[in-house]
Amino acid sequence: MSTGEIKRVIIIGAGQAGGETAQRLRQAGFTGDITLIGEEPAAPYQRPPLSKAYLKGDLDMDRLLLRPTNLYSEENITLLTSLRAVWIDRANRKVRVEGGRELPYDALVLATGARPRKLPLVGADLDGVFLFRTAADADALRPRMVSGAKLVVIGAGYIGLEAAAVARQLGLDVTVIEMAVRPLARVTSPEVAGFFLDEHTRQGVRFVLGGQPAIIKGRERVTGVALTDGSEIPADIVLAGIGVTPEVTLAQQCGLAVENGIVTNRQCLTSDPAIYAIGDCASRPMAHFEQRVARLESVHNAVEGAKIVAAAITGGKPHTEEAPWFWSDQYDLKLQIAGLFQGYDRVVLRGVMADRAFAAFYYKGPKLIAVDAVNRPAEYLGAKMLIQTGRTVAPSELEDESRPMKEIVAAAR
């Protein structure tokens, strides 16, 4: 079907990617029907604050929303919440929702996100054991986060460490168990991981690195986590932050290609020419990842997918991909990341970690591929621009703190 013939778009998943797609379709001038189906009760909202300001109690639900709810009806976007899509009939281009209603589409966008991995342990269903993905998860956890309570976080990724930081700020006793020998093992270098380990330790978080939980203990409520080495850590709350799996149930049911997410081409088109897939549920070749297929879990990636799809459906100018970015807030530290560090062979520091404001630049050969900037927004923005435009600078220039970042970027080739 050519772009001009698309009159009905259905988006399954009213999260960051789905919500952005509906909005960007209208911005791009699409005048046909848009139906946005989401199983959660809320209109599309941002998840990042859930493990940051929202968990701490500094932000309410209204502030999480991507946009005010009334805008959907004003822009003639049919938003169906608390409703799950259960079947895709590709031959007849219909989506069936719970209750049996069938909705026809000309173009379908799968934006079904990801599900948090459950702890594969006895006791994982006890009261007091939490997964962390939705506002409902945060709402359930928040009242238990009282001063003096014992929290065990399993998994030292960004979400686990952010929750640990909030918990310390609220006066909880916090232990983080991580199977790897360092925190953030999948997402950053040993140098930057070491900085965050020291920072959390200074703030009173205990770490069990290389630790393997064996069983979650308790009768009805959790009382502790036993490790395979026989030790036991007492707990009133256990938070599992051991990663997510892409939500691909519908895609698999209807026979789309799936491999670590729903497989798409650069235009986010799946193996069916009427179905796109974007956000955490999808894998695609990425311009800033040497065209390798990757599945990213980030706001940046959700927004990129929405822009690509809106351009494809409306026949607009193809979107030029932005370099990936991400952030994490822990205590008063703002970590900003641009690019993808995988495959780096050299890390160059600008600033001193002890000052709690520095940037780690990652090089692959002579090429700058990523930055982790802690409380250094100028370094983040400068490096992001260099990575975006494929320019690079010699490591010695970045190490020279006497030259402002702006000047270094302006002189880069």
Per CB under 6 A, residues contacting ligand FAD are 12-18, 37-40, 47-48, 50-51, 84-85, 111-114, 132-133, 159, 247, 250, 279-281, 297-300, 302, 326-328
Least separation in angstroms between residue 263's CB and ligand FAD is 15
Q: Would you call 411 helix, strand, or coil by DSSP?
A: helix
Helix/strand number for the chain, H first, E second:
12, 26
Q: Which is nearer to ligand FAD, 114 or 347 (by Cβ)?
A: 114
What span, in angstroms and rounded, lies between the C-alpha atoms of 48 and 328?
8
Q: Which is nearer to ligand FAD, 46 or 223 (by Cβ)?
A: 46
Q: Which is nearer to ligand FAD, 308 or 348 (by Cβ)?
A: 308
Q: Which is nearer to ligand FAD, 16 or 264 (by Cβ)?
A: 16
β-sheet with 173-178: strand ranges across: 129-130, 237-240, 150-154, 173-178, 206-209
Q: Which is nearer to ligand FAD, 39 or 236 (by Cβ)?
A: 39
| Tokens read off for 295 | 């599945």
Least separation in angstroms between residue 138's CB and ligand FAD is 7
Residue 97, amino acid:
V
| Tokens read off for 329 | 């807030």
Least separation in angstroms between residue 80's CB and ligand FAD is 9
Least separation in angstroms between residue 145's CB and ligand FAD is 14
| Tokens read off for 85 | 């899509």
Q: Which is nearer to ligand FAD, 51 or 388 (by Cβ)?
A: 51
Within 256-394, residue ranges assigned H as helices are: 299-314, 377-389
Residue sitting closest to ligand FAD (CB) = 15
What span, in angstroms and rounded, lies between the C-alpha atoms of 378 and 13?
35
Least separation in angstroms between residue 42's CB and ligand FAD is 8
Q: Which is nearer to ligand FAD, 86 or 215 (by Cβ)?
A: 86
Cβ neighbours for 199, distance < 8 A, ≥ 6 positions apart: 330, 331, 333, 356
β-sheet with 262-263: strand ranges across: 262-263, 282-285, 293-294
Q: Is 10 exposed, middle or buried (0-12, 13-18, 19+ CB in 10 A)?
A: buried
Least separation in angstroms between residue 20's CB and ligand FAD is 8
Kindly provide the residue ranges of all beta strands, DSSP E only, lying in 73-218, ordered along the sequence.
Answer: 77-80, 85-89, 94-97, 102-104, 107-110, 114-116, 129-130, 150-154, 173-178, 206-209, 213-218
Least separation in angstroms between residue 171's CB and ligand FAD is 21
Least separation in angstroms between residue 7's CB and ligand FAD is 22
Within 203-298, residue ranges assigned H as helices are: 249-253
Q: Which is nearer to ligand FAD, 41 or 390 (by Cβ)?
A: 41
Q: Which is nearer to ligand FAD, 187 or 226 (by Cβ)?
A: 187
Least separation in angstroms between residue 125's CB and ligand FAD is 20
Q: Which is nearer to ligand FAD, 83 or 185 (by Cβ)?
A: 83
| Tokens read off for 32 | 């046909």
CA dist list (Å): 394 to 290, 342, 362, 388:
21, 19, 12, 17
What span, in angstroms and rounded, lies between the C-alpha atoms of 247 and 130?
19
What span, in angstroms and rounded, lies between the C-alpha atoms of 230 and 47?
36
Least separation in angstroms between residue 396's CB and ligand FAD is 31
